Chains A and B, each alone.
Chain A
């Protein structure tokens, strides 16, 4: 190649375009609040949609906990609301399975993927890397609206006569592929698949945007190793999504074909209600492979943003640099790679080749290494810090606690020998709810309490925040800790009624307790939602641009930043984001040039 190169002058100043116009232009309600291209507004749209979904998904869990805690008892109010789904006030089997399936789908995809990384990637990436907006604000807007359409389809499926998908959130065929096999595998399953296809499109557009913004739109001086760990975590989250969601798309398309045009990708040798199906030659295990090739990275799509935000919150509120920045970064990277190599540990008892299974055991156990590195780094960040127990900080610490408790049981389940005993028991439910569900929720709460002042220019109410934290924290352990014992005793998950097994009856009271606690915890979440919306309008006003004394760039913007974030030039960055308690100063923002006599970090 003999390309001639013309070096243009290197005077490349951020991307300050004609943004100053934007702020002053009068924006209509529609372009400001609905079809907004401002990343901050899109973030709020994701957050509020996520909250609505979380209430729906949480309510589902309360309903099926009623059945699990009080089987056979009648709650006439349920019949008032749900009619035939809860005939005589007891939850019918179809309803129960629909509730469980939708609880999983909604929480995993709509709340903890779109609501968590959708909110904070949108909100934090441009603000923390120093950009006016996302690389492509238009695609960003489209991404939200695809998510919105996916939501509409999923919501609509709740109201059709045969009910929503109810074959479990993993949608394993053959159950999910055959309408004659169950109510929920009729139209509801098609809608589930269509909704997921829309959701995947949304995630791809969002992920591509996040990646190219982080790579291309960093402000001057913001080298990759000066990025806050939040951005690194969100970056790897986006990479995971871009590479793994398409595989679920393939699986969903093939499943749609199996359902609607008589192909046999996943079906073989099936008899339903005495009818012998003509399908042959497919493999149900193949779908599980395709599903978990997404499904496992999905776990980290959910967890990594929480890890990143907790790292930031812990460091800011300990007034100490994050311990082992490069180790944190390296372990994020290692987790991102390993996420793609371990998917079949969800499938040890499916008839997976046992030798292949042992390779997956090895790869799975490797994840313990970067996870442990992260845990120790969080603990050493806290060690001897000047800790400020803000609600965000409490949720951050709670995250670390839950991540340890849930992570340790992951080591049990990662071993195929133990998994054979524990598979599909309440132990698994306890494990993934603690490590992935509740822990990520805690990361999300930490993020909301920490960045709420930046989002809305007001604080959340602290007292309600503390109440929220303590009840949720204690409640989470009360709900999920006993489930370990149930699982070890062999109680299967997904069962509507365990009354026929005498050996399980001893756990009846425990189940009652779990149900009562989960109702209390759900009520406290509603209190948080009240706090959230109340504080948007009536919360204590933020008076300084940097209320937490943090180093990162978002706190150099005005209290209520307009579209374009900085009113003047985008600040230049001179240091990493974790100079806390250095040279006798409490914090040194990233924008401050390195002094002549400054000690090295």
Chain B
């Protein structure tokens, strides 16, 4: 990162050997310079922008300190330091141009990739999304019941200025107030009339009508005591509170939870859950590392491996067929219309790229309508009322997906093939003709090889794109028809990425760990394929 003038060297520390080399390279006329001394209005703009960024950064640091998100805090500190360093330095001109994009790339692409890898080694998901401590508290709170023969408390429903509901109760003549988040605290300045709380500092008392309005929220509300073992207060009618205590007790020493009603002991099973001897577990677990469990489950858990392997095979088939069909149709049309005697080529081209210009997510939905079994245009008008299950039969749905993708993808191939055809020098054709080559021979020996040199990288990119063509699958078939009896909502036309989506968000429970492991598998596959492809195309380039 050294693009500076020789003139700047005077006020900088002694240059290291590679800095000297860089300066020499710069001096040799590679277009690096720094007239960074312009202090005019631009400098003021820069100063204001940096001041804003710094202010924002400090705000983030302060607020992540408050909620104890140390990772965010550390990242923000690092970003701030680098920002100021890069933009106030006279050197590092290249860095000034690279930095904004790199920050976003680092946070929202590289970090998220790494984080995906991390999640794939945990059991993160519904029921396993917090720490062990949180899980204990949640289990205890969820299993509360009214303490038999416990006293009742005069209770008033209150709300914080933020609109958060809470209770105020009178306990032995003292007023306690709290919300779901904030355990009961003494409120000595509260007003009590006829044994009921009528005013609490920091809270508004709800009227009877307001209580009726939010009946459900109030009967579900639970306000805990500061000492968690004391239990909590709940109400049925908004005016009397009862003491609730958990039937579960947590023993710090053994790390086990005991149900005081039934005597069942739940112990830490090492997989992020409290488990009883009969194998039943408490509802709330916590996040633990599970090693390669998510990866092996894909191949060995018979309920998962069947759908997974068929989705994997279909993903490859879909991507290969997509590239193949669109490329051949596009190339065919490009050759047909590339004849110099065809008039109106420009108009033809403009009309043919319509599907490419039409937003992708709309295309899927429009075709889903066209292919609808009972009312769709294809069945009702073109096929005279035949009720062909285009999107609901597993094999026909696959065919439809390829067919719709042909419509979506051929214009792109047509465009790039036309461009590449026009780039081939006509001299080549003439030379071939003089040598006596026929049309077929010319195509095989000249046109196709030359086309492939420029188009091969694009075909590989197209393969990688279709490998993850979530929109088409999701909007056309939603991955259906679903495989019966699978624990995840996955179907015959699901490709890997739509399967990941379904496992993560649409299968009833959110299985982030498993879904991330699948995403990592896609990363690896796409990476290997692209790498092989790039290697291959460089070879192709060396041919000429």
Q: Tell whether A pairs with B.
A: no
